[in-house]
Amino acid sequence: MRLSTVRLGQDRTAAARLQKKHCVLLPYPDVGALIASGDDWWQRAGADTGERLRLDDVSYAPLIVRPGKMVAVGPNHAVHVRELGCATPAAPEFSVRNGGHAVVGADDDIRVPAERRDVHWGVELGVVIGRRAQDVTARAALGHVAGYTVVNDVAVRNGREGASPAAVATAVGPALVTTDDVPIGARGLTMHCFVDGRVRQKASTSELLFDVATLIAHVSRAVTLLPGDLIRTGTPSGTGTAHERDMPPGSTTQVISVIRGIGELRNAVMRPGSQ
Protein backbone atom coordinates (compact mmCIF):
# COMPACT_ATOMS: atom_id res chain seq x y z
CA MET A 1 0.00 0.00 0.00
CA ARG A 2 1.20 3.48 -0.86
CA LEU A 3 0.05 6.44 1.24
CA SER A 4 0.68 10.13 0.70
CA THR A 5 -0.33 13.56 1.94
CA VAL A 6 -1.90 15.78 -0.71
CA ARG A 7 -2.79 19.45 -0.78
CA LEU A 8 -6.47 20.37 -0.98
CA GLY A 9 -5.97 24.11 -1.01
CA GLN A 10 -4.13 26.77 0.95
CA ASP A 11 -3.11 25.41 4.37
CA ARG A 12 -5.28 22.29 3.97
CA THR A 13 -3.98 18.78 3.44
CA ALA A 14 -5.27 15.21 3.65
CA ALA A 15 -3.82 11.73 3.88
CA ALA A 16 -4.56 9.66 0.80
CA ARG A 17 -4.13 6.13 -0.49
CA LEU A 18 -2.52 6.13 -3.91
CA GLN A 19 -3.84 4.04 -6.77
CA LYS A 20 -2.57 3.84 -10.36
CA LYS A 21 -4.29 6.97 -11.66
CA HIS A 22 -6.15 8.37 -8.65
CA CYS A 23 -6.01 8.66 -4.90
CA VAL A 24 -8.61 8.04 -2.19
CA LEU A 25 -8.77 10.73 0.47
CA LEU A 26 -8.68 9.62 4.11
CA PRO A 27 -10.12 11.59 7.05
CA TYR A 28 -6.73 12.64 8.48
CA PRO A 29 -4.66 15.76 7.81
CA ASP A 30 -1.53 13.82 6.93
CA VAL A 31 -0.03 10.32 6.96
CA GLY A 32 1.57 10.94 10.36
CA ALA A 33 -1.82 11.66 11.91
CA LEU A 34 -3.26 8.53 10.30
CA ILE A 35 -0.52 6.32 11.74
CA ALA A 36 -0.82 7.95 15.17
CA SER A 37 -4.60 7.34 15.26
CA GLY A 38 -4.36 3.79 16.61
CA ASP A 39 -2.91 0.34 15.93
CA ASP A 40 -5.66 -0.39 13.40
CA TRP A 41 -4.59 2.49 11.15
CA TRP A 42 -3.66 -0.05 8.49
CA GLN A 43 -7.25 -1.25 8.10
CA ARG A 44 -8.63 2.29 8.01
CA ALA A 45 -6.03 3.30 5.44
CA GLY A 46 -7.48 0.65 3.14
CA ALA A 47 -11.03 1.99 3.37
CA ASP A 48 -12.60 2.76 0.01
CA THR A 49 -15.19 5.31 1.10
CA GLY A 50 -13.32 8.60 0.64
CA GLU A 51 -13.41 11.10 -2.19
CA ARG A 52 -11.33 10.20 -5.23
CA LEU A 53 -9.01 12.63 -7.01
CA ARG A 54 -6.99 12.16 -10.17
CA LEU A 55 -3.26 12.03 -9.43
CA ASP A 56 -2.68 14.50 -12.25
CA ASP A 57 -4.74 17.03 -10.28
CA VAL A 58 -2.98 16.80 -6.90
CA SER A 59 0.25 18.15 -5.46
CA TYR A 60 2.15 16.45 -2.68
CA ALA A 61 2.54 18.05 0.72
CA PRO A 62 5.21 16.78 3.12
CA LEU A 63 4.37 13.16 3.93
CA ILE A 64 4.35 14.04 7.65
CA VAL A 65 3.53 17.71 8.01
CA ARG A 66 4.75 18.06 11.60
CA PRO A 67 6.95 15.12 12.66
CA GLY A 68 7.05 14.66 16.41
CA LYS A 69 10.67 13.51 16.25
CA MET A 70 13.11 13.36 13.37
CA VAL A 71 16.14 11.18 14.04
CA ALA A 72 19.17 11.86 11.83
CA VAL A 73 21.68 9.00 11.60
CA GLY A 74 25.13 9.36 10.17
CA PRO A 75 27.54 8.64 8.85
CA ASN A 76 26.04 5.26 7.96
CA HIS A 77 27.67 4.34 4.64
CA ALA A 78 31.27 3.04 4.63
CA VAL A 79 32.31 5.01 1.54
CA HIS A 80 30.83 8.19 3.01
CA VAL A 81 32.81 7.60 6.21
CA ARG A 82 36.00 7.48 4.14
CA GLU A 83 34.87 10.55 2.21
CA LEU A 84 34.51 12.46 5.47
CA GLY A 85 37.87 11.20 6.74
CA CYS A 86 36.46 10.00 10.05
CA ALA A 87 36.67 6.69 11.89
CA THR A 88 34.07 4.02 11.23
CA PRO A 89 31.54 4.29 14.10
CA ALA A 90 31.29 1.29 16.43
CA ALA A 91 27.60 2.05 17.02
CA PRO A 92 25.03 4.24 15.26
CA GLU A 93 25.56 7.96 15.77
CA PHE A 94 22.42 10.06 15.70
CA SER A 95 20.78 13.32 16.70
CA VAL A 96 17.13 14.04 17.45
CA ARG A 97 15.07 17.07 16.48
CA ASN A 98 11.91 17.40 18.53
CA GLY A 99 9.15 19.22 16.64
CA GLY A 100 9.34 22.39 14.60
CA HIS A 101 10.99 20.78 11.58
CA ALA A 102 10.96 22.64 8.29
CA VAL A 103 9.61 19.89 6.05
CA VAL A 104 8.62 20.24 2.40
CA GLY A 105 6.88 18.11 -0.19
CA ALA A 106 8.17 16.00 -3.05
CA ASP A 107 8.03 18.79 -5.64
CA ASP A 108 8.46 21.87 -3.44
CA ASP A 109 11.15 24.51 -3.88
CA ILE A 110 13.74 24.89 -1.13
CA ARG A 111 15.16 28.37 -0.52
CA VAL A 112 18.52 28.68 1.20
CA PRO A 113 19.65 31.85 3.01
CA ALA A 114 21.10 34.48 0.71
CA GLU A 115 24.26 34.79 2.83
CA ARG A 116 25.06 31.06 2.65
CA ARG A 117 26.76 29.46 -0.34
CA ASP A 118 27.96 26.04 0.83
CA VAL A 119 24.80 23.97 0.34
CA HIS A 120 24.65 20.29 1.33
CA TRP A 121 22.11 17.70 0.20
CA GLY A 122 21.80 13.91 0.02
CA VAL A 123 19.28 11.14 -0.64
CA GLU A 124 18.33 9.02 2.37
CA LEU A 125 16.01 6.12 3.16
CA GLY A 126 13.37 7.34 5.61
CA VAL A 127 11.82 4.97 8.16
CA VAL A 128 8.43 5.93 9.58
CA ILE A 129 7.57 4.43 12.96
CA GLY A 130 4.19 2.72 13.20
CA ARG A 131 4.14 1.47 16.81
CA ARG A 132 5.62 2.83 20.03
CA ALA A 133 9.20 1.60 20.39
CA GLN A 134 11.07 1.78 23.68
CA ASP A 135 14.13 -0.37 24.37
CA VAL A 136 13.18 -2.86 21.65
CA THR A 137 15.50 -5.59 20.37
CA ALA A 138 16.81 -5.67 16.82
CA ARG A 139 14.90 -8.91 16.33
CA ALA A 140 11.58 -7.20 17.17
CA ALA A 141 12.38 -3.77 15.73
CA LEU A 142 10.93 -4.19 12.24
CA GLY A 143 7.53 -4.88 13.78
CA HIS A 144 7.49 -1.21 14.80
CA VAL A 145 7.88 0.13 11.25
CA ALA A 146 4.90 1.56 9.36
CA GLY A 147 6.79 1.89 6.11
CA TYR A 148 9.51 3.66 4.16
CA THR A 149 9.89 6.92 2.27
CA VAL A 150 12.46 9.09 0.49
CA VAL A 151 14.23 11.92 2.30
CA ASN A 152 16.61 14.66 1.22
CA ASP A 153 17.89 16.96 3.94
CA VAL A 154 19.17 20.30 2.63
CA ALA A 155 21.58 22.19 4.88
CA VAL A 156 24.09 25.03 4.68
CA ARG A 157 27.43 25.56 6.39
CA ASN A 158 27.91 28.86 8.17
CA GLY A 159 31.50 29.34 7.05
CA ARG A 160 33.27 28.57 10.33
CA GLU A 161 36.04 25.99 10.00
CA GLY A 162 34.80 22.59 11.15
CA ALA A 163 31.23 23.79 11.65
CA SER A 164 28.43 21.33 11.02
CA PRO A 165 25.87 22.16 8.33
CA ALA A 166 22.72 23.83 9.65
CA ALA A 167 19.40 22.43 8.42
CA VAL A 168 17.34 24.48 5.97
CA ALA A 169 14.55 22.07 5.04
CA THR A 170 13.90 18.35 4.76
CA ALA A 171 12.02 17.02 1.76
CA VAL A 172 9.94 13.94 2.65
CA GLY A 173 7.75 11.85 0.36
CA PRO A 174 6.02 11.60 -1.94
CA ALA A 175 4.71 8.35 -0.46
CA LEU A 176 4.95 6.01 2.47
CA VAL A 177 5.29 2.47 1.13
CA THR A 178 4.06 0.02 3.77
CA THR A 179 6.26 -2.85 4.86
CA ASP A 180 4.28 -5.50 2.97
CA ASP A 181 5.31 -3.90 -0.33
CA VAL A 182 9.02 -3.54 0.47
CA PRO A 183 11.79 -6.13 1.00
CA ILE A 184 12.39 -7.00 4.67
CA GLY A 185 14.20 -4.09 6.28
CA ALA A 186 14.03 -2.23 2.93
CA ARG A 187 17.26 -3.96 1.89
CA GLY A 188 18.53 -4.11 -1.68
CA LEU A 189 16.96 -0.88 -2.93
CA THR A 190 19.00 1.28 -5.30
CA MET A 191 19.41 4.95 -4.31
CA HIS A 192 20.29 7.81 -6.67
CA CYS A 193 20.67 11.55 -6.35
CA PHE A 194 20.83 13.65 -9.51
CA VAL A 195 22.01 17.26 -9.43
CA ASP A 196 21.19 19.29 -12.52
CA GLY A 197 20.75 16.04 -14.43
CA ARG A 198 24.06 14.44 -13.39
CA VAL A 199 24.35 11.44 -11.09
CA ARG A 200 25.99 12.56 -7.86
CA GLN A 201 25.06 9.66 -5.59
CA LYS A 202 24.47 5.98 -6.27
CA ALA A 203 24.24 3.36 -3.55
CA SER A 204 22.10 0.56 -2.16
CA THR A 205 20.19 0.35 1.09
CA SER A 206 22.04 -2.94 1.65
CA GLU A 207 25.24 -0.90 2.11
CA LEU A 208 24.12 0.72 5.38
CA LEU A 209 26.67 0.14 8.13
CA PHE A 210 23.77 -0.28 10.56
CA ASP A 211 20.56 -1.67 9.10
CA VAL A 212 17.05 -0.48 9.91
CA ALA A 213 16.47 -3.01 12.70
CA THR A 214 19.77 -2.12 14.39
CA LEU A 215 19.03 1.61 14.14
CA ILE A 216 15.58 1.29 15.71
CA ALA A 217 16.90 -0.89 18.53
CA HIS A 218 19.77 1.49 19.26
CA VAL A 219 17.73 4.70 19.07
CA SER A 220 14.88 3.24 21.15
CA ARG A 221 17.27 2.70 24.05
CA ALA A 222 17.89 6.45 24.19
CA VAL A 223 14.50 7.91 23.21
CA THR A 224 10.97 6.57 22.95
CA LEU A 225 9.89 6.40 19.32
CA LEU A 226 6.22 7.11 18.67
CA PRO A 227 3.94 6.51 15.67
CA GLY A 228 4.72 9.04 12.97
CA ASP A 229 8.32 9.66 14.07
CA LEU A 230 10.85 9.63 11.24
CA ILE A 231 14.34 8.11 11.13
CA ARG A 232 16.73 9.29 8.43
CA THR A 233 19.13 6.40 7.90
CA GLY A 234 22.05 8.38 6.46
CA THR A 235 23.21 9.59 3.06
CA PRO A 236 25.80 7.82 0.90
CA SER A 237 28.98 9.35 -0.49
CA GLY A 238 29.05 11.90 -3.27
CA THR A 239 27.19 14.88 -1.86
CA GLY A 240 29.19 17.11 -4.20
CA THR A 241 32.47 18.98 -4.27
CA ALA A 242 32.85 22.35 -2.59
CA HIS A 243 32.63 23.97 -6.05
CA GLU A 244 29.34 22.21 -6.85
CA ARG A 245 27.86 23.27 -3.50
CA ASP A 246 28.91 26.89 -3.91
CA MET A 247 25.66 28.37 -5.17
CA PRO A 248 26.04 31.93 -6.50
CA PRO A 249 23.31 34.52 -5.80
CA GLY A 250 20.21 34.04 -7.91
CA SER A 251 21.05 30.46 -8.83
CA THR A 252 18.80 27.38 -8.83
CA THR A 253 19.93 23.77 -8.59
CA GLN A 254 17.62 20.87 -9.46
CA VAL A 255 18.02 17.98 -7.02
CA ILE A 256 16.25 14.67 -7.72
CA SER A 257 16.36 11.97 -5.06
CA VAL A 258 15.21 8.47 -6.02
CA ILE A 259 14.91 5.16 -4.17
CA ARG A 260 13.78 2.33 -6.40
CA GLY A 261 10.41 0.96 -5.31
CA ILE A 262 9.84 3.82 -2.84
CA GLY A 263 9.58 7.05 -4.80
CA GLU A 264 11.17 10.21 -6.13
CA LEU A 265 11.68 13.76 -4.84
CA ARG A 266 12.16 16.64 -7.29
CA ASN A 267 13.20 19.79 -5.47
CA ALA A 268 14.58 23.04 -6.87
CA VAL A 269 17.13 24.43 -4.41
CA MET A 270 17.19 28.20 -4.81
CA ARG A 271 19.48 30.92 -3.47
CA PRO A 272 18.10 34.48 -3.64
CA GLY A 273 19.99 37.12 -5.57
CA SER A 274 22.25 39.56 -3.72
CA GLN A 275 20.62 42.68 -2.28
pLDDT of residue 275: 43
3-state secondary structure of 89: coil
Q: Does domain 69-270 have CATH number 3.90.850.10?
A: yes
pLDDT of residue 161: 47
pLDDT of residue 164: 63
Distance of alpha carbon 70 from alpha carbon 192, whole angstroms: 22
- Distances 177 to 31, 42, 114, 121 between C-alpha atoms, Å: 11, 12, 36, 23
**H helices present in 133-247, as ranges:** 138-141, 212-220, 242-245
Contact 114, 156 (CB under 8 A): no
pLDDT of residue 9: 82
pLDDT beneath 70, residues of the chain: 100, 158-165, 240-245, 274-275
pLDDT of residue 59: 95
Q: Which pairing describes strands 119-120 and 145-156: parallel, antiparallel, or unpaired? A: antiparallel
pLDDT of residue 145: 98
pLDDT of residue 206: 95
pLDDT of residue 52: 95
pLDDT of residue 272: 84
Q: Which residues contact 44 (CB under 8 A, 6 or more apart)?
A: 26, 34, 37
Chain centre distance of CA 193: 13
| Through-space distance between the first and last CA atoms of the chain, rounded to whole angstroms | 47
Closest CA to 235 of 154, 173, 179: 154
Distance of alpha carbon 236 from alpha carbon 202, whole angstroms: 8
Distance of alpha carbon 227 from alpha carbon 211, whole angstroms: 20
Q: Where are the domains of the chain?
A: 2-57, 69-270
